[in-house]
Amino acid sequence: MSDDAAPDGLPLPRRWWAMAAIWLAMVMAVLDSAIANVALPTIARDLGASAADAIWVVNAYQIAIVMLLLTVASLGEILGYRRVYAAGLVLFVAASVVCTLAGSLTGLALARFAQGFGAAAIMGINGALVRFAWPRAQLGRGIGANALVVAIASAAGPSVAAAVLALGSWRWLFAINVPFGLASLAIGWAALPTPPVADRRFDWRSALLAAIAFAALFAVAETLAHGGVSLATGVALLVAAGAGWPLIRIARRESDPLIPLDLIGVPLLRLSYAASVASFAAMMIGLVALPFYLQARWGFDHVEAGLAITALPLGVAVAAPIAGRLVERVAAGLLGAVGLALLACGYGVVAVLTPGAGTAALVAAIASCGMGFGLFQTPNNRTMMGAAPARRSGAAAGMLATSRLVGQTLGAVGVAAVFRMGDTRSVIPFLIAAVLAVVAAVLSARRLGAA
């Protein structure tokens, strides 16, 4: 299984072995993110930390991912996707072991920071590996299957965390990464595609500037979400600008820059990135606001709220593989616009429903949000990967992951801002999410003229 990838995808059964390796790693990364959030109160209590300090278990992981996404994508083009992916897996597994053994919150946060570097390699390279594993004509199916696995893992995350915490220590939440990671590493080293590498040197200066700029922007988002505008916000903005300006200047001079201005300059891709940011912001608004809203306005307990919200990733799981096949016959721009319109309608219904309408109607509206997003995400991801030149598959995968993370961050900041101005019973977050979905639908439809 060690020969290079065929010009148009991997042969069977190697393709399915490659996808098994990718799925194992993605399930591990998605579960790790979900279960860490659920376990925060338990971790804080066990390590004698405050709730505010315990947030760094999540923040350290997210900052590391933000800092390295585009860097690992560039490294994948130069060193080989399989090598960078394997290195990320090794680091993720090793950091998971350290998380399991951590005796203090500081030690755990540092281990999570290292774990985030490994996750960046997994997430930033994932799209490129899928692209080279599948024939171009069937790429939508591969991306749809990937989205299905991620959606199922997202839906299962809280339940898995609750089950582990009911049976044992929170440390097992990190220990379970070890078998997933080792299995993915063993299968992937034999089966993952090995397309030709780029003949250029790695731009360490751009990598350093990008890490500083993105970390500073993440700090700005965090201060806006939790503390409002302060001196620290201004300092972080200055740092981001100080690193970002030379970073862009370097990118304008390069043919294959670490910050992929060459891809952003393509109208079809630019519209796809913008639609992705807006749609993920809309989704994150719903995921963050729903638990509070369902408990405050509908009177659900945390278990009932969790079960109702599970309808959203399950909706994605239903629609994503269907969209993966439809996109072979229907334009991605049209399919995405229809899905996003459904997402907007779903959020609108959530906003206008009252407890008297019944739980079934609410769950159906939440599920329709997931189905609408699934109809958009798979075709849009296919466009973001398929429309980029093959030699820039790493950069395309990095932009796919970056647009998702930027959207999620903006959505979380938006909900925090609304909560500071109002209460958790407010329908304003869902109305904002609906407007963002409409904006994304318009952007998606405009791709019909840009294709």
Q: Which of 201, 223, 242 is the last residue of a domain?
A: 201
Beta-bridge partner residues of 6: 9
Based on the domain organization, do 156 and 95 belong to the same domain? Answer: yes
Q: How many domains does the chain have?
A: 3
Based on the domain organization, do 143 and 122 belong to the same domain? Answer: yes
CA distances from 323 to 184, 270, 403, 436, 437 (A): 27, 21, 20, 21, 18
CATH number, position 69? 1.20.1250.20
Question: What are phi and psi for residue 9, nearest 5 degrees?
Answer: 95, 170
399 neighbors 414 (Cβ within 8 angstroms): no
Q: How far apart are CA 77 and CA 392, in angstroms?
A: 7
Based on the domain organization, do 149 and 17 belong to the same domain? Answer: yes
pLDDT value, residue 419: 78
Based on the domain organization, do 360 and 293 belong to the same domain? Answer: yes
Based on the domain organization, do 77 and 39 belong to the same domain? Answer: yes
Cβ neighbours for 229, distance < 8 A, ≥ 6 positions apart: 223
Q: Which of 214, 230, 253 is the last residue of a domain?
A: 253
Based on the domain organization, do 88 and 170 belong to the same domain? Answer: yes
Q: Which of 201, 226, 243 is the last residue of a domain?
A: 201
Q: How far apart are CA 377 and CA 277, in angstroms?
A: 11
Identify the domain containing residue 267 by its residue range.
Answer: 259-451
Based on the domain organization, do 444 and 324 belong to the same domain? Answer: yes
Based on the domain organization, do 191 and 230 belong to the same domain? Answer: no
Nearest to 445 by CA among 369, 347, 331: 331
Q: How far apart are CA 3 and CA 135, in angstroms?
A: 17
Residue 261, Cβ neighbours under 10 Å: how many?
14
Instruction: Give per-residue pLDDT as tens, 235-292.
Output: 989 999 999 999 999 999 998 999 999 999 999 999 999 999 999 999 988 888 888 8
Based on the domain organization, do 93 and 53 belong to the same domain? Answer: yes
The tokens describing 142, both together, are 């591969």
CA distances from 185 to 23, 134, 190, 192 (A): 11, 20, 9, 10
130 neighbors 22 (Cβ within 8 angstroms): yes
Q: How far apart are CA 22 and CA 14, in angstroms?
A: 12
Based on the domain organization, do 306 and 432 belong to the same domain? Answer: yes
Q: H-helix or E-strand containing 185?
A: helix 177-191
Q: Tokens 């069977």 belong to which residue? A: 12
Q: Can you give the pLDDT of all 451 residues of the chain as single tens digits?
A: 344 444 678 999 999 999 999 999 988 887 887 777 677 778 888 998 876 678 788 888 888 998 999 999 999 999 999 999 999 999 999 999 999 999 999 999 999 999 999 999 998 898 999 999 999 889 988 888 888 888 888 777 777 777 788 888 889 989 989 999 999 999 999 999 989 898 889 999 999 999 999 999 988 887 777 666 778 788 989 999 999 999 999 999 998 999 999 999 999 999 999 999 999 999 988 888 888 888 889 998 877 887 888 898 889 989 999 999 999 899 999 999 999 999 999 999 999 999 888 899 999 999 999 999 999 999 999 999 999 998 999 999 999 989 988 898 888 888 877 877 777 788 999 999 999 999 999 999 999 876 5
113 neighbors 294 (Cβ within 8 angstroms): no
Based on the domain organization, do 174 and 307 belong to the same domain? Answer: no
pLDDT value, residue 153: 81
Q: How far apart are CA 38 and CA 86, in angstroms?
A: 28
pLDDT value, residue 451: 56
Based on the domain organization, do 192 and 43 belong to the same domain? Answer: yes
